[in-house]
Chains A and B, each alone.
Chain A
Amino acid sequence: MEDWVLDTVIGIILAVITLITLYPFYYIVLITFNAGTDTITGGMYLWPRQFTLGNYIYFFEDPKWLDAFGISVARTIAGTFLGVLFTCMVAYGLSKNDLKFRNIYFILVIVAMYFSGGLVAYYVVLRSIGLINTFGVYVIPGMLNLFFLLIALTFFREIPEEMAESARIDGAGELRIFYRLILPVSKPLLATMCLFVGSGQWNSWLDSAYFVHKEELRTLTYRMMEVINQAMVPATNSAAIATLSSKSTVTPLSVQATAMVISIVPILGVYPFLQKYFVSGMMLGSVKG
């Protein structure tokens, strides 16, 4: 009897949690399939009132949104590939006991993890090395991820040294050992890193907003933020709600919702499958600090 009550209560709580989590996403999807001019009249909860694909068509025809989408894709691919590769290389180097000054490097990594210079100092550095207003600002500063450096370090230490040793005897160079031996056995680690570095890249907005002033380098997240900022200031509110052209039903807000859905889809497609990897990675990281 008691069990039955408890199970019911748990069931209700879980249903509410699931609803609270999923409904906002559903609501956004709803907006994207409804005519923008109709959405702003409010009162739509469950299904589109004036079904249209216009928002999606508009998104893929407008160079402003499409370019931003392209930049986002490019930075995510480049940033993830370089970031994961570079971090792994550094971690592999640091995992070797016979590395000279290893302890010093290690202390440097730890201190850098706890101390940050703050955004302003960061900006000054970026400017002085000429990264401001370039595509590089999206990719280069994030190449060494200290958090994953420590995780990768722990992971590489678990790989038996004999494996590398036997390859060395067979005449393989260090780089060859790294690419042909170490990376292939590190797939769970690489999967986790790719997911996190990738979603970090895909979601990042600050660098595009403040470190880049060229319109053609803006990312998708920046474009979405732009609409939010416009809509929040009442003076320009009417401008934000007005349709984008006289014949269309598309409004800036409905395109923005479309952009949001488009930006969620890749994440939604990837993360459930990597679940088993990142759960263990998360534990490792939290214990290490």
Chain B
Amino acid sequence: MLYLLVFSYVPMFGIIIAFKNYKITTGIEGMFTSSWAGLTHFRAIISDYNFPNLVRNTLVLSILKVIFSYPVPILFAIILNEVRNAFVKRFVQTVSYLPHFISWVVVTGIAYAFFSTGYGMFNDLMMSLGLLSNPWNVLTDPDSFWGLAVMTAIWKEAGWWTIIFLAALTSIDPSLYEAAEIDGASRIKRILYITLPGLKSAAIVVMILSIGNMLGGGLVGSNFEQAMLLGNKLNSDTSQIIQTYAFNIGLVQGRFSFAMAIDLVQSVISVMLIFTSNYIARRFSGVGLY
């Protein structure tokens, strides 16, 4: 049949492309072209003097993002759900996820315009209010990178994830609220006993996604983009993460196998995280991704 000819050939082509990357990391290409290196590269990772620092930065950044970015969309959804004016609700929501569609380059540019010591309004404002006596260069101070990264990530993505929670809230039966109102439950009580439980399964699914992508930055993702764009030579003590290090070593210094070994370690850990978090969630609540 023509059908089989066209439509089984096309997926095959696509899948070959998708899979090329994957095969190479596991060493299939290296098998043909180079000799076996065994675990040499993996040992080199462990003895690399940068390694403890990289692991620390990656973990701290990831954990901070998981912890701080997770509650924001839930709270925001609950607040929006309490808004009665449909236009206001829709407007605020639409505005809140606008940053999701903007490139990290632009977000970084905006952050730069804000925090630059030369002309940025942040330092201007802080100094004229007397909160800072000297300009604070948020962009190059190693101590501020984590905070900056977490805050810009939440600014960019929190509104987006609110969509999921708001959608979960629309499936709550409105008669529950009416019944509670007749029984004399206050609005706060209705939020606590109707809205929150209604969010439970969405919250668990999002938690799994968040932990599964922990090394990428959790819900808000973008560990890599931030480290590349917001990171610079001056704050590299806290901004350099495993991925960017692998990237620099591989593409800039040309040590491909070493960089691939680093990448591989990270992707194995990520996959383990996804399966573990899914397993635990299923075990405790019966909700899982698959």
Residues of A within 8 A of B (CB): 2-3, 6-7, 10, 13-14, 17-18, 20-22, 24-25, 27-28, 31, 39-45, 86, 89-90, 92-94, 96, 98-101, 105, 108-109, 111-112, 114-125, 140-141, 143-144, 146, 173-175, 199, 202-206, 210, 221, 224-225, 227-229, 231-234, 237, 241, 253, 256-257, 260, 263-264, 267-268, 271-272, 275, 279, 282-283, 286-289
B residues in contact with A268, CB < 8 Å: 98
Q: Which of A94, A100, A210, A221 contacts B103 (CB 8 A)?
A: A221
Tell me if A120 and B8 are in contact (CB < 8 A). no
Selecting from B44-52, B106-114, B141-149, B172-180, the interface stretch reads: B106-114
Q: A17-B76, A21-B99, A42-B124 are in contact. Are A289 and B290 (CB under 8 A)?
A: yes
A190 CA / B116 CA spacing, docked (Å): 41
B residues in contact with A6, CB < 8 Å: 82, 187-188
A227 CA / B116 CA spacing, docked (Å): 13
Secondary structure call for the A interface? helix
Is B274 at the interface (CB under 8 A from chain A)?
A: yes
Tell me if A89 and B10 are in contact (CB < 8 A). yes
The 10 nearest A-B residue pairs measured at CB: A118-B263, A93-B7, A203-B103, A117-B21, A120-B250, A117-B25, A120-B259, A144-B14, A42-B119, A289-B289
B residues in contact with A43, CB < 8 Å: 121, 124
A7 CA / B188 CA spacing, docked (Å): 12
Tell me if A174 and B7 are in contact (CB < 8 A). yes
A27 CA / B114 CA spacing, docked (Å): 8
Q: A42-B119, A118-B246, A282-B163 are in contact. Are A27 and B6 (CB under 8 A)?
A: no
B residues in contact with A24, CB < 8 Å: 110, 114
A225 CA / B263 CA spacing, docked (Å): 25
A residues in contact with B95, CB < 8 Å: 18, 21-22
A86 CA / B4 CA spacing, docked (Å): 16
Selecting from B53-61, B63-71, B192-200, B264-272, the interface stretch reads: B264-272
A residues in contact with B266, CB < 8 Å: 118
B residues in contact with A13, CB < 8 Å: 79
Residues of B within 8 A of A (CB): 2-4, 6-8, 10-12, 14-15, 17-25, 29, 76, 79-80, 82-84, 88, 91-92, 94-96, 98-99, 101-106, 108-110, 112-114, 116, 118-121, 123-125, 139-140, 155, 159, 163-164, 167, 186-188, 205-206, 209, 225, 228-229, 232-234, 243, 246-247, 250-251, 256, 259-260, 262-264, 266-267, 271, 274, 289-290
Tell me if A233 and B233 are in contact (CB < 8 A). yes
B residues in contact with A123, CB < 8 Å: 250-251
Tell me if A203 and B22 are in contact (CB < 8 A). no
Q: A14-B83, A93-B11, A221-B103 are in contact. Are A174 and B121 (CB under 8 A)?
A: no
A283 CA / B162 CA spacing, docked (Å): 11
Secondary structure call for the B interface? helix
A111 to chain B, nearest CB (A): 7
Residue among B80, B243, B263, B271 with the most chain A CB within 10 A? B263
Tell me if A21 and B21 are in contact (CB < 8 A). no
A to B CB contacts below 8 Å, 23 in the list: A10-B82, A18-B91, A18-B95, A27-B113, A40-B119, A43-B121, A45-B121, A93-B11, A96-B7, A108-B15, A108-B18, A114-B274, A116-B267, A118-B259, A120-B256, A199-B101, A203-B101, A205-B105, A206-B225, A228-B229, A231-B112, A263-B106, A289-B289
Q: A121-B263, A271-B101, A283-B167 are in contact. Are A90 and B82 (CB under 8 A)?
A: no
B212 to chain A, nearest CB (A): 8
Tell me if B79 and A14 are in contact (CB < 8 A). yes
Tell me if B106 and A224 are in contact (CB < 8 A). yes
Least CB separation from A13: chain B residue: B79
A residues in contact with B234, CB < 8 Å: 232, 234
Tell me if B11 and A119 are in contact (CB < 8 A). no
A231 to chain B, nearest CB (A): 6
A264 CA / B156 CA spacing, docked (Å): 14
Tell me if A286 and B205 are in contact (CB < 8 A). yes
A6 CA / B189 CA spacing, docked (Å): 12
Residue among B118, B206, B260, B263 with the most chain A CB within 10 A? B118
Q: A14-B88, A119-B246 are in contact. Are A224 and B105 (CB under 8 A)?
A: yes
A233 CA / B139 CA spacing, docked (Å): 10
B residues in contact with A93, CB < 8 Å: 6-8, 10-11
Tell me if A260 and B7 are in contact (CB < 8 A). no
B42 to chain A, nearest CB (A): 14
A278 to chain B, nearest CB (A): 8
A residues in contact with B19, CB < 8 Å: 108, 112
A117 CA / B29 CA spacing, docked (Å): 12
Tell me if B163 and A202 are in contact (CB < 8 A). no
Tell me if B243 and A221 are in contact (CB < 8 A). no
Q: Which of A20, A28, A31, A100 contacts B8 (CB 8 A)?
A: A100
B residues in contact with A114, CB < 8 Å: 271, 274
B residues in contact with A253, CB < 8 Å: 113, 119
Tell me if B101 and A224 are in contact (CB < 8 A). no
Q: A93-B8, A108-B15 are in contact. Are A271 and B98 (CB under 8 A)?
A: yes
Least CB separation from A199: chain B residue: B101
